[in-house]
């Protein structure tokens, strides 16, 4: 049974008056970003879709059960969900997302007509990444989405640059934090193994190649093979910083030929290992 009244069409119209200032042309990256709106009120669901589809690829669902089916067949970047819905409410959906390794990397923004402290605490305990109380200014929702996407982009850039960042800083769930910690540990244990493959990587971590690709791309911006390479190159850089000046020796230590090491090192850090040593 429905537990609270959904916004009326007149309320939607009031929201729409406030959305104009942030109606800007979408970038190519934004249009590739898929957002899932989960809301049982059809008018409000269609209103949100209309307000966001100029910038993002928008999918919709009427409740948590429908949302899980959408997530199962689409690569979703952010979920925006109402709390009060029939069949499966937003809190249950959020909990399912954050406890399923296939979805746990997806940030969740909760929408609710309730503003009680208990409701907010419950949502945060279930893993919600942000929380907006109805009625709200649509510009606020757009800014929250933008901030989440900027945070993800910053994580990808920092990981690509080899900046020292903890798994907890680039993940939105404890499952993903543990997964990244395990992935780094596996690569470090196989550091000098030139025969270590993506298939072996996935099998060791307990995921198919496809699921592993999706997870690492979402969290780090790297495919599995790029992730392995980045960890190895980062270790090579660390060895050079420690005074290991024999580049060939360092290359073999991290599982590359000297030629491969020089090529990948320059791709990651913008200079050859020999130039890095001189600096």
Long-range contacts of 193-202 (CB under 8 A, 24+ apart): 193/255, 194/255, 194/256, 196/228, 196/255, 198/224, 198/225, 198/228, 201/228
Nearest to 73 by CA among 198, 172, 221, 214: 214
Tokens 């990808």 found at: 156
Q: How far is 153 from 141, CA to CA, in rounded Å? A: 19
Angle at 55 between CA 53 and CA 61, to 5 degrees: 35
Q: Is the dihedral of CA 45, 48, 51, 56 positive or negative?
A: negative
pLDDT score at 165 = 75
Q: Record the tokens describing residue 235, joined without a space.
A: 């270790």
pLDDT score at 118 = 65
pLDDT score at 116 = 59
Q: How many CA atoms lie within 13 A of 233 on its CB side?
A: 27
> Which ranges of the chain have pLDDT less than 50?
1-25, 28
pLDDT score at 115 = 60
pLDDT score at 30 = 52
pLDDT score at 126 = 64
Torsion of CA 164, 170, 175, 178, to 10 degrees: 0
For residue range 185-208, list pLDDT tens digits in order: 999 999 989 889 999 999 999 998
CB 99 within 8 A of CB 175: yes
Q: How far is 163 from 173, CA to CA, in rounded Å? A: 21
Domains by residue range for the chain, with CATH: 9-157 (3.40.50.2300), 165-278 (1.10.10.60)
Phi-psi region of 136 (alpha: psi -120 to 50; beta: other; left: phi over 0): beta
pLDDT score at 128 = 84
DSSP 3-state of 254 = coil
DSSP 3-state of 133 = strand
CB 76 within 8 A of CB 59: yes
Distances (CA, A) of 38 to 47, 122, 210: 12, 18, 26
Q: How many CA atoms lie within 13 A of 126 on its CB side?
A: 23
- Going by C-beta distance under 8 Å and a sequence separation of 6 or more, which residues neighbour residue 157? 221
pLDDT score at 81 = 95
């Amino acid at each position: 049974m429905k537990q609270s009244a959904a916004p009326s069409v007149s309320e939607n119209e009031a929201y729409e008056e406030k959305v104009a200032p942030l109606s800007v042309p979408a970038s190519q990256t934004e249009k590739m970003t898929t957002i899932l709106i989960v809301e049982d009120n059809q008018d409000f669901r269609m209103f949100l879709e209309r307000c966001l589809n100029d910038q993002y690829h928008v999918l919709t669902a009427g409740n948590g059960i429908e949302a899980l089916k959408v997530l199962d067949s689409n690569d979703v970047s952010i979920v925006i969900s109402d709390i009060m819905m029939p069949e499966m409410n937003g809190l249950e959906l959020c909990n399912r997302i954050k406890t399923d390794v296939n979805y746990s990397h997806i940030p969740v923004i909760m929408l609710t007509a309730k503003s009680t402290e208990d409701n907010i605490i419950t949502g945060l305990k279930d893993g919600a990444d942000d929380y907006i109380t109805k009625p709200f200014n649509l510009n606020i929702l757009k800014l929250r989405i933008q901030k989440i996407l900027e945070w993800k982009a910053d994580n990808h850039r920092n990981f690509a640059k080899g900046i020292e960042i903890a798994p907890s800083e680039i993940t939105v769930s404890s499952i993903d934090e543990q997964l990244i910690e395990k992935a780094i540990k596996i690569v470090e244990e196989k550091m000098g193994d030139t025969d270590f493959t993506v298939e072996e990587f996935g099998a060791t971590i307990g995921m198919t190649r496809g699921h592993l690709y999706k997870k690492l791309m979402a969290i780090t911006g790297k495919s599995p093979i790029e992730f392995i390479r980045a960890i190895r190159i980062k270790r090579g850089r660390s060895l050079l910083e420690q005074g290991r000046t024999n580049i060939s020796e360092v290359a073999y230590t991290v599982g590359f030929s000297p030629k491969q090491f020089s090529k990948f090192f320059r791709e990651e850090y913008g200079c050859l290992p020999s130039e890095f040593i001189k600096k």
